[in-house]
Homo-oligomer: A and B are copies of this chain.
Amino acid sequence: MTGQQSIFELFSDETTSGVAYKNKSLKRTIINHLDAIGNTTITDLAQALNISVPKITSLINELITDGLVKDYGKVDSKGGRRASMYGLVAESGFFIGVDVKHYCVNLGLLDFKKNLVTSEMHVPYVLANTRESFDQLIKIIQHFISTLPVQSRNILAMCVNLSGRINSESGYSYSFFHFHEEPLSATIEQAIGIRTFLENDSRAMAYGEFHNGIVKEEKNVLFVNLDYGIGLGIMIDGKIYRGKSGFGGEFGHIPLFANEIICHCGKKGCLETEASGQALIRQFKEKIEQGSSSSLLQHNKLPEDIRLADIIQATKNEDVLSIELIAGIGEKIGRGISVIINIFNPELVILGGTLAETGDYIRLPIRSALNKYSLSLVNNDTQLHMSKLHELAGVIGGCLIARDKLLAIGN
């Protein structure tokens, strides 16, 4: 029995029963505990899990022969024999995260101990709802895997993040690549040969930020993904909230404005029509047409070719028009966030995504809108932080989702 087989064996509920099943289940509990707490001793495990020391000892020894756990040496003690520390083995399995953006793909490889082994950022790619675009995505993933320093059979699972409506339970994507009868996750799984999960981009970013980012003890956290659209990743009680069919968090399309702008979703008055990256670009072009000037257009750039990244770069170069527009967008996003703060009373709201890279230019107007629009008792309860992982949030989140889905962590 190789260690690798053991992982799949251990985490698949086969027809084991009785004592065999209980041992399997206890081993999973131990792995989950080591994952949550980090390296620890047999005595600690025995106390935490309410299992006797000899039993834990024998289970740990089995996990060591399985290759999933190893001895990390002795702990320091203040009187008494020093205990051995046991912990997960980083090399016992790897996970891939694929974060698909509008104009690029970011990929990463995570080991079993949640370290990002390697990543490839900004692989040029244009996301379009076509077969060609899909085929190119597959090629990018295949190429990434071919460059990896680990054997393909040691890669246990992969998660692909896409924007739009995703049912990560069934593996269907409704906004992109909905060509086949079978779920998109199955199509990718066949093409790549690795167990594949699908997740909405904002939820994956929220998950990354939650487990490896800015979040410490907080359990109810909202991640606002400010990009061309506005996404929302909801973490409740430490778990991703997806809603009935995985359509939860459609924050960008709440009807907050009494305007006449038709949103790409077909409705009027959506938050996204006035407070998203798309809206920012539209407003930028309008201002230019109305005669405003911007340093952005100095290098023979046409207004049509302006991308969100350009405007964000311009704010760093103190372009006045860009800064003004971002402030206006921020105020409206703030009004939107005040809605979800009132409803969720979260411990923490994280601002992430491309637009969040403008830092205080967007944070301050959001902050002041929150004071204006949300209940002070609730608002004072809530921290507002910028993303810590920045563009790595999606990659790391994807890897972690692949890992935790396979290991059945956090359901």
Identify the A interface with B (CB < 8 A). 17-18, 21-22, 25, 50, 52, 165, 174, 220, 232, 234, 236-237, 239, 241-251, 253-256, 258, 265-267, 269, 335, 338-340, 342-347, 372-378, 381-382
State which of B239, B250, B347, B373 has its C-beta within 8 Å of the C-beta of A345.
Answer: B250
Q: How far is the CB of A185 from chain B (nearest CB, A)?
A: 19
**Are A250 and B340 in contact (CB-based, < 8 A)?**
no
Most buried by B among A243, A253, A265: A243
Q: A236 vs B243: C-alpha distance in the bound complex, in angstroms? A: 9
Number of copies: 2
Chain B residue nearest to A338 in the complex (CB)? B255
Some 17 contacts from A to B, beta carbons below 8 A apart, are: A17-B50, A18-B50, A22-B50, A220-B243, A234-B343, A236-B237, A236-B241, A241-B344, A244-B345, A244-B382, A247-B381, A248-B344, A255-B335, A255-B339, A256-B256, A258-B258, A269-B373
Most buried by B among A174, A239, A344, A382: A344
A sample of 11 more A-B contacts (CB under 8 A), given A220-B243, A236-B236, A254-B343, is A236-B237, A237-B239, A245-B381, A246-B345, A248-B343, A248-B345, A249-B343, A250-B343, A250-B375, A258-B258, A266-B376
Chain B residue nearest to A258 in the complex (CB)? B258
Contacts of A258 in B (CB 8 A): 258
**Are B342 and A253 in contact (CB-based, < 8 A)?**
yes
Q: A254 vs B377: C-alpha distance in the bound complex, in angstroms? A: 14
